[in-house]
Structure 1
Amino acid sequence: MKHIQNEYIPTSHLRVGKKSPQKFQAILGTCLGLALYDQKRKAGGLIHILLPSPLGNAEFQPESPGKYASSGIPMLINKLRRMGCTTQDLKATIAGGALVGPVSSLDLGLDIGGKSAEIAHRILKEQGIEILKSETGGFFACTLKLDMMTGETKIVPVWETTSAPDAIAPISGPEAIMATIENLQPIPQTALKIFRMFNQDGYSIEDITQELAQDQVLSARTLQMCNSVLFSSTIKIDTLKDAVIMLGKERLAKSVITTAIESYFEQTGPSGYSLCKGGLFFHAVGVACLSERLAKEIGIAHPWLAYTAGLLHDIGKVVLDQQISDRLPFFFRTLGNDKQNIIQAEEKVLGFNHCRAGVILAEKWGFSDALTEVIRCHHTPGDATAHSQLVEIVYIADRLMEKFFTGFNIDKIDALHLEPIINKMDLDGASLARCIEDMPLDILIQEPPNGTANT
């Protein structure tokens, strides 16, 4: 039995290699995937493309050229040429570029996946590279796989399951859900206190650091988070005093709550909602960053509050994760075949949903009314009342993550509210594209869900 390692290629990244017992994989929604393989040289590669080309100045040299079809595909070809491959022998497979979920006029106007596919076809034609298979567009996310032993490629739906069609999953029931809530390791009290301190007047940054210093584990993990690409650049932060000086009060508070949420999400298993290791946390951070960026773009909510709301919106999924893991084939089939959104599917399979579970946690932990309403209504923004604008920001961010950064967790959002909200906020395709392009992609590095798989 050979050990085949599954290597997941994150958004805006590419990977090349020679014949080896591994499979390159990219989970694609609106993004485009391109696999190239040379059978004579037994070498190939895969790229996971976010956007067609850089926005604005055509002379702009991007920091992450793999992000764009216009720069990433030539880079992939050149890397393979340096390994001895020729364009005559390279064969291509293209996938992705889907209009994920219900399609709006905004989706049709942006057509990001379609434009990326056009650029890919043009470059491959110019280079004389034969396209063996091209499955782009459609309405569903897929996974593009490249077997580095054989050069074989596969394009499979994300929702594909091999379970028996007549399998029936037992309904969990509210009692089991409530028992899970009681047994969960909560967000550390120190983090919750710092969060409340930041949102109240009369507390200085010294008060926050003194409180943080009382929890040595949280302090150590916060310093690690401070040195991540999300909060720091190239300057090493060694102490809480350094963090105060370099980051300031708001960014330090963000690092504390982000660290606490990362620890909380670590209670989930590898086969529940997450499609990759740490998938729920990566999705939460992505929604947080997009929510913060949208708040700055629109100017109707404080960016710090939008970031925090995005970070916390899916805390209820941790409660349901093990229950979903035990019923995963039935859950996938309910989502895929019944054309239900995730809330409806959860109710059908578990008799509960992650928004309800999240509200119980929010009330238990003393979250503000604004954050509780986001947790309750981020799938149903029309139900929001006092904090509808914040809910709508997180709803848009969640939808953008599902469309453009597929592959972190199981989600299926009802997009019927998207276009009216975007119109109400006076957003257009260009402003949304700027928010997507500004995402700090290095924070979204996926790891294989289970390391290696036996074949």
Structure 2
Amino acid sequence: MVWLRREHIPAGSFRVEKKGQILLQAFLGTCVGVALYDKVTKIGGLIHILLPEPPSTMPPEYPEKYASTGLPLLLEELFALGVDPCNLTATIAGGALVAPLSELDIHLDIGGRSTDIAIDILNRSGIKIVKSETGGFFTCTLELNMATGQFAIKPVALETPVNEHTVSLPPLSEQDITKTIKNLKPIPQTALKILRMIQDDHHNMKEITRELGKDQVLGARVLKITNSAMFFGRIKIESIQDAVLLLGESLLLKMIITAVLKDYFNQVGDSGYSLCRGGLFFHAVGCAMVAEKIAELTGREPPNTAYTAGLLHDIGKVVLDQQIAAVYPLFFRGIHHDGTSAVILEQKILGTTHCITGALLARQWNFSPALIEAISFHHTPEQATDHRNLVGIVHLSDLLMSRFNVGLELERMEPTSLLPTIDHLGLTLSDLPGIIDSIFPASFDKKGQLSFKTRTLT
């Protein structure tokens, strides 16, 4: 049996490869995947399309995200390597109406429009489409085997049979959860103090940077993230003082919050909630970015507050990750085959949910009532009381991430609260494409580390 190195293609990106022991793979829901292969040169590529076209007439910062601009880029790269379009064959997959069907899916028809654009581009380029399986109601994977040039479209399924009698666990008590929390690597007290200071509407940046200076490890981590391609990556920043001057207080606060949470999220493996290494953390960062966009658009919450809530909303999953790993086949099947939401499965299998557990942890960390409510009710915004705006923002960002950036974590969210939430926030369905556009593409480096892509200034 030949071993193949799997290369996951995240939403909003593409990959070109020459013949080798590599399997290009994309997890597809509403997104559309296009795989191409030249049987003569043994060169191929796969693109994971997020949206049909850019939402504005301005040149997009990330053209790989769109069918209208990303697929031509992929073809250009293939042609530059000597590929003849007459020798190329293509396979298209995805564009599903992920059940349960919502008005969001019908109104946007993102998968259908992305498919139509992709087919039109391929036809105009003279490229033969050998297989197309789009639409439907289920997630799938699109694969291109670079060793053989073979395409495969597979429903998301388990590789091993599930025996429900061997994968059950006794319900977790609050004492069990508390014990698990104690066994996790804690967030340093300095970091928690800074987090609480940031939550204060009257926080003082000088005091925050002074506290940051007391923890050299945290300070170094903030600078590392600040200088990474995830957020900036353009100018070398040597000190926190430089960061304040170059980035401004708002962006630096996001760097600090992200640095604090990165180590905490990285305690999970890739056999529980995460579908790939770092998946849970990057889902959280993606939610934070989308939440910030929604806050800016609606004016209902300070963007920094929305970013923080988006980053923190799934902290309970870190606590429950080992338990989920132990019942992974049952949990996976419940979500992807039975269409059950994650919180319902958690309650059924574990006797608790990541929302309840996260709120317990947030109270132990003395987080603000607003953040505790966002963590508690991000799956059920109708239950929010005093902070409905913030909860609604986090709920909408989480829902959009789970629909349009699959492949990072094991998640399923019911769309039943979509229309009431966007109505409460003063939004309409026509606002959603612009919000979805704020989802940043991600990529894996050669070491298998996940990061968000940015463009350097020219």
Q: 1:204 to 1:177 in 2, by over 3 A?
A: closer
| Structure-2 residue corresponding to 1:143 | 141
One-letter amino acid matched to 1:334: G
What is the deviation of 1:93?
A: 0.8
Kindly provide the CA deviation profile for residues 194-245 of structure 1, in whole angstroms up to 9, marking residues without a partner as x: 1222333665322111111111111110111122345435221111111122
CA distance in 1, matches of 2:51, 2:395: 22
Q: TM-score, normalised by structure 2?
A: 0.92
What is the deviation of 1:290?
A: 0.4
| Structure-2 residue corresponding to 1:70 | 68
CA distance in 2, matches of 1:211, 1:119: 52
What is the deviation of 1:157?
A: 2.6
Report if the CA contact (8 A) 2:100-2:339 is conserved.
Answer: no
Q: RMSD of the alignment, in Å?
A: 2.0
What is the deviation of 1:12?
A: 1.9
Pick aligned residue for 2:160 from 160, 163, 166: 163
Pick aligned residue for 2:77 from 76, 79, 83: 79
What is the deviation of 1:167?
A: 4.1
CA distance in 1, matches of 2:12, 2:408: 15
Gaps spanning 5+ residues in structure 2: where? 450-458
What is the deviation of 1:447?
A: 6.1
One-letter amino acid matched to 1:99: L
Q: 1:375 to 1:51 in 2, by over 3 A?
A: same
Q: 1:202 to 1:420 in 2, by over 3 A?
A: closer
What is the deviation of 1:426?
A: 3.0
Kindly provide the CA deviation profile for residues 64-120 of structure 1, in whole angstroms up to 9, marking residues without a partner as x: 222211122222222222333222221111111122232233321211111010011
One-letter amino acid matched to 1:156: K
| Structure-2 residue corresponding to 1:330 | 330
Report if the CA contact (8 A) 1:284-1:313 is conserved.
Answer: yes
| Structure-1 residue corresponding to 2:453 | none
Matched, 1:110 2:105: no
CA distance in 2, matches of 1:201, 1:71: 42
| Structure-2 residue corresponding to 1:348 | 348
Match of 2:238, SS state, is: coil
| Structure-1 residue corresponding to 2:374 | 374
Report if the CA contact (8 A) 1:99-1:140 is conserved.
Answer: yes
Match of 1:145, SS state, is: strand
CA distance in 2, matches of 1:424, 1:90: 49
Kindly provide the CA deviation profile for residues 262-316 of structure 1, in whole angstroms up to 9, marking residues without a partner as x: 1101110121111111000000000000001001101111111111000000000
**Number of residue pairs the alignment of both structures matches:** 446
What is the deviation of 1:156?
A: 2.0
Kindly provide the CA deviation profile for residues 152-185 of structure 1, in whole angstroms up to 9, marking residues without a partner as x: 1222233x11232434312143144332122111
CA distance in 1, matches of 2:135, 2:187: 41
Report if the CA contact (8 A) 1:26-1:143 is conserved.
Answer: yes
Report if the CA contact (8 A) 2:316-2:358 is conserved.
Answer: yes
CA distance in 2, matches of 1:292, 1:63: 18
One-letter amino acid matched to 1:396: L
Matched, 1:95 2:93: yes
Report if the CA contact (8 A) 2:212-2:219 is conserved.
Answer: yes
Matches within 5 A, 1:269-418: 269-418=269-418
Match of 2:4, SS state, is: strand
Q: TM-score, normalised by structure 1?
A: 0.93
CA distance in 1, matches of 2:337, 2:109: 26
Kindly provide the CA deviation profile for residues 112-163 of structure 1, in whole angstroms up to 9, marking residues without a partner as x: 11101001111112222221211111222222111100111222233x1123
Gaps spanning 5+ residues in structure 1: where? none
| Structure-2 residue corresponding to 1:8 | 8
What is the deviation of 1:372?
A: 0.6
| Bigger Cα displacement from structure 2, 418-427 vs 284-293 | 418-427
Match of 2:85, SS state, is: coil
| Structure-1 residue corresponding to 2:43 | 43
Report if the CA contact (8 A) 2:97-2:135 is conserved.
Answer: yes
Q: Percent identity?
A: 48
Matches within 5 A, 1:186-335: 186-200=186-200, 203-232=203-232, 234-335=234-335
What is the deviation of 1:416?
A: 0.4
One-letter amino acid matched to 1:439: I
Q: 1:170 to 1:30 in 2, by over 3 A?
A: same
Match of 2:187, SS state, is: coil
Report if the CA contact (8 A) 1:34-1:46 is conserved.
Answer: yes
CA distance in 2, matches of 1:203, 1:170: 47
One-letter amino acid matched to 1:42: K
Kindly provide the CA deviation profile for residues 351-405 of structure 1, in whole angstroms up to 9, marking residues without a partner as x: 2211111011011111111111111100111111111111011000001101111
CA distance in 2, matches of 1:328, 1:317: 14
Match of 1:222, SS state, is: helix
Report if the CA contact (8 A) 1:277-1:448 is conserved.
Answer: no
Kindly provide the CA deviation profile for residues 2-49 of structure 1, in whole angstroms up to 9, marking residues without a partner as x: 442111112221111211000111112221110001222221110111
Match of 2:120, SS state, is: helix
One-letter amino acid matched to 1:166: N
Report if the CA contact (8 A) 1:373-1:391 is conserved.
Answer: yes
CA distance in 1, matches of 2:366, 2:110: 41
